[in-house]
Amino acid sequence: MRGVANPQRAMRPRRRVRRGFDEGWKYAIRAFLPECLQLLFPSLHARIDWTRPVEFLSTELHRLAPAQLRKGVRSVDVLVRVYFRDGVPRVVLLHIEIQTQRDPNFPLRLFVYYYRIFDANDYPELISLAILADDDPNWRPSVFERRLEGCNIRFEFPTVKLLDFDEAELEQSENPFALVVLAHLRALKTRGRPNLMFGEKLALIRAMQARGYTPEQVIELYKVVDYIMALPAELEKRVQEFVRQIEEQSEWPLTSLERLALEEGYTDGYGKGLQQGLQQGLQQGLQQGLQQGLQQGLQQGLQQGLQQGLQQGLQQGLQQGLQQGERKGQIRLTMRALQSRFGDAALPLEEKLVQVPSLETLEELAMTALEATSLEEFTRALEAALTTAPEPAETE
């Protein structure tokens, strides 16, 4: 299981690895907080009174982030209020930080978050926890320390290293959160290899079916696994088909889940495109009818123009709806993969993705989002696509 921390290992510069899974992990902790602490921090879990309500303090996260640290890390990951069951009437705040890449400033950032939360909430009982979800087995920060002329600070924080978990034990665990950790480890192993990740994703879905989870747990786990193990559109369609086959063979509660991002974009774009096309068709029809009416007679021209305009507008609306739906679906799929792998630092790229004119190029970028080893690599590919994109044709 978990190994012994090694905080004395010297820090060395290294190539940036992916930051992925941030949003998926935040969602998983909110959905499975008791199970998360039971698996990752069992001694803490035993002290909490789970008969009392817990309160997530998400509305306070953004104002707690120090301005000088907002670049790349915009907010505290999870902040929750719990009660201990030791007979002492007190409330405890738990601050949980998920770190998915090696960062020499991580202990400093955790210390800054700690004292800002401590100050903003009138000096409560506060515990900061670190989930080390990176791919470096030797990186194990657990303390921030400063000493100068007798003025000393030593901030120690509990950590758990996900790489220390044995996958065979996770597969046998009855704790639903074990499947979340397993999905994360399998995603780390198969990054940049979507076909391998596809197979691992199907295996985890089978495990969900076999373990006898409640319908609510199945839905939440499926959402987390789907987010952490994002795949290209074609492979995601095959996953959806696999799930449908399971649903036909058993009473699985996944029929109410949101459809594939591509399908959502298709539906939304289809409706907007149809409406836009009809409006444009009516306008063109009126204009065309007036022009023809001057030559062939006002009444005949208006009737003929309106009919042709409506027909043309409907056809154009259907075509635009299909195209806009496919484009929006590819953009959403790409952004979901980028956020899963590199966190909120990928958000500004959505504006540039919208500028990519070719659907084929968007499909290629969606694959690049899953295979790139860094956000910088994907950004270079996106810039190259925009540079080589043809100028849009001018319309009269």
Decide which of 46 and 122 is more confident. Answer: 46
75 part of a folded domain: yes
- Do residues 211 and 350 both lie within one domain? no
Q: Last residue of some domain: 218, 249, 280? A: 249
* pLDDT value for 253: 63
Confidence of residue 314 (pLDDT cuts 50, 70, 90): low
| Same domain for 239 and 125 | yes
Domain-located, residue 254: no
How confident is the model at residue 246, as a pLDDT?
82
The verdict on 224 and 337 lying in the same domain is no
Query: In terms of domains, do 235 and 290 share one?
Result: no
pLDDT at 375: 85
What is the rounded CA–CA span in Å between residue 118 and residue 37?
21
pLDDT band at 321 (very low <50, low <70, confident <90, very high): low
Query: pLDDT band for position 299 (50/70/90)?
Result: low
**Structure confidence at residue 286 as a pLDDT band (50, 70, 90):** low
d(CA 269, CA 266): 5
Residue 66 per-residue DSSP state: -
Residue 242 has pLDDT above 70, yes or no: yes
How many beta carbons lie within 10 A of that of residue 205, not counting itself? 23
More confident residue, 43 or 385: 43
> For residue 195, is pLDDT > 60?
yes
Measured distance between the N- and C-terminal CA atoms of the chain, rounded to whole angstroms: 68
The pLDDT assigned to 227 comes to 85
Q: How does pLDDT run across 225-238, given as a tens digit for each residue? A: 988 998 998 998 99
Is the pLDDT reported for residue 144 higher than 70? yes
Helix-helix angle 176-189:22-31, to 10 degrees: 170
For the segment 384-396, the average pLDDT, to the nearest whole number, is 63
Last residue of a domain, one of 249, 280, 299: 249
Residues 157 and 306 in one domain: no
The confidence score (pLDDT) of residue 209 equals: 82
Q: Give which of 50, 57, 49 is closest to 113, Cα–Cα.
A: 57
The residue-averaged pLDDT of 259-277 equals 47
**Structural domain contains residue 395:** no
- Which pLDDT band, with edges at 50, 70 and 90, does 133 fall under? very high
Q: How far apart are CA 6 and CA 361, in angstroms?
A: 45
Q: Are 74 and 342 a contacting pair, CB within 8 Å? A: no
- Residues 57 and 202 placed together within one structural domain of the fold: yes
In 3D space, the residue among 82, 112, 115, 78 whose CA is nearest the CA of residue 97 turns out to be 78
Evaluate whether residue 128 is within a structural domain: yes
Domain match, 212 and 322 both: no
Does 309 have pLDDT greater than 50?
yes
The verdict on residue 296 lying in a domain is yes
Confidence check: pLDDT of 295 > 70: no
pLDDT of residue 279: 61
Is residue 121 included in any domain, yes or no? yes
Question: Does 227 lie in the same domain as 280?
Answer: no
pLDDT of residue 124: 92
What's the rounded Cα separation, in Å, for the pair 13 and 33? Answer: 34
Structural domain count, the chain: 2
Range in 63-77, 255-269, 311-325 the model is least confident about? 255-269
* Same-domain status, 94 and 144: yes
Strands 159-161 and 78-83: unpaired
Residue 396 lies in a domain: no
Q: What integer pLDDT is reported at residue 261 of this predicted model? A: 40
Between 266 and 294, name the one with better pLDDT.
294
Asked if pLDDT for residue 134 goes beyond 70, the answer is yes
CA distance linking residue 139 with residue 137, whole number of Å: 6
Nearest to residue 198, comparing CAs of 169, 163, 241?
Answer: 241
pLDDT band at 129 (very low <50, low <70, confident <90, very high): very high
Query: Can you give the residue range of the structural domain that contains 47?
Result: 22-249
Angle, vertex CA 258, rays to CA 255 and CA 260, nearest 5 = 105
When the pLDDT of each residue in the chain is averaged and rounded to a whole number, the result is 78
Q: Residues 298, 239: one domain?
A: no
Question: 395: pLDDT confidence band, cut at 50, 70 and 90?
Answer: very low
- Does 368 reside within a domain? yes
Mention every residue, 6+ apart, whose C-beta is less than 8 A from residue 146.
152, 153
* One domain for residues 108 and 169: yes
Q: Which of 220, 249, 278 is the last residue in one of the domains? A: 249
Q: Is 393 helix (H, G, I), strand (E, B) or coil?
A: coil
Q: Is the pLDDT of residue 368 over 90?
A: no
22-50, pLDDT tens digit by residue?
Answer: 788 999 999 999 999 999 999 999 999 99
In terms of domains, do 216 and 279 share one?
A: no
Write the CB contacts of 119 (distance below 8 Å, at least 6 apart in sequence): none
